[in-house]
Amino acid sequence: MCSSDLALSTGKIVGVEALVRWQQQDGRLVPPNDFIPLAEETGLIVPIGSWVLREACRVRKIWLQQGLTDLVMAVNLSARQFVEEDLPSLLESLLTEYDLPAHLLVLEVTESLFMNNLNKVIGDLSSMKAQGVAVAIDDFGTGYSSMAYLQQLPIDYLKIDRSFVMDLDVNERDKALVKTMIQLAQNLSLKVVAEGIEKAEQAEYLLSLGCHKGQGYYFGKPMTAAKLLEVLAKPNNTPNSF
């Protein structure tokens, strides 16, 4: 499964985020909030994370062969992967195995990652970024926000958490916070992605502030790779427009 990133200025899909889902024998999907914490606790998130990264590289290579040259693929990394894996080596081997241009990948991490082993995390992210991938801070604003680590980290994107976006069209405090986040990103020469956009008014306000990209049900629900290709085949290359 994947969710799409849209350029707010054009409404076109410019990227996707790989999503992991657990499908039961009866076909029902277990929500990620129900199994990801358990996977983190038991350590299963490490092999799961490695599998997702490999699948993302494999699928993105197929899309490249089908002519999708510019679409970036975002993949979430767990804090435990940084502790228990050599992520730079894993990434290098996968890029080589699939002969995939590194600039087509965005690696997403959360702020909680930086509360421990900051030097190792910075080292690993720097090594991976040196290979050509981009790095994003996911769910920005909900964790350990510090100007110190923002200054040190080799990052390219800030992804504003949906909790700041869901009431953006009616809550003045959220408006002020989002405006500050976007200004901060602009001052640091970072691109901005807003999560959880569900209304046209939210998308329009974010665009007026200079937000680059957006995700959310307003543009469409998560879809399979096959469905995404159908959407991309449309002349305007967008599931929705505002």
Query: Could you report the per-residue pLDDT of 48-68, keeping only the tens digit for each?
Result: 999 999 999 999 999 999 999
**Residue pLDDT, tens place only, 216-227:** 999 888 888 888
Per-residue pLDDT band at 126 (split at 50, 70, 90)? very high
User: What is the predicted pLDDT for the residue at 235?
Assistant: 67
Sequence-distant (≥ 6) Cβ neighbours of residue 192 within 8 angstroms: 157, 158, 159, 160, 181, 182, 185, 186, 210, 211, 212, 213
Whole-prediction pTM value? 0.90
Token readout for 69 is 């040259």
**Residue pLDDT, tens place only, 145-176:** 566 677 788 999 999 999 999 999 889 999 99
Per-residue pLDDT band at 239 (split at 50, 70, 90)? low
Q: Which of 25-29, 44-48, 229-233 has the weakest average pLDDT?
A: 25-29
User: What is the predicted pLDDT for the residue at 23?
Assistant: 73
Question: Tokens 């629900």 identify what position?
Answer: 221
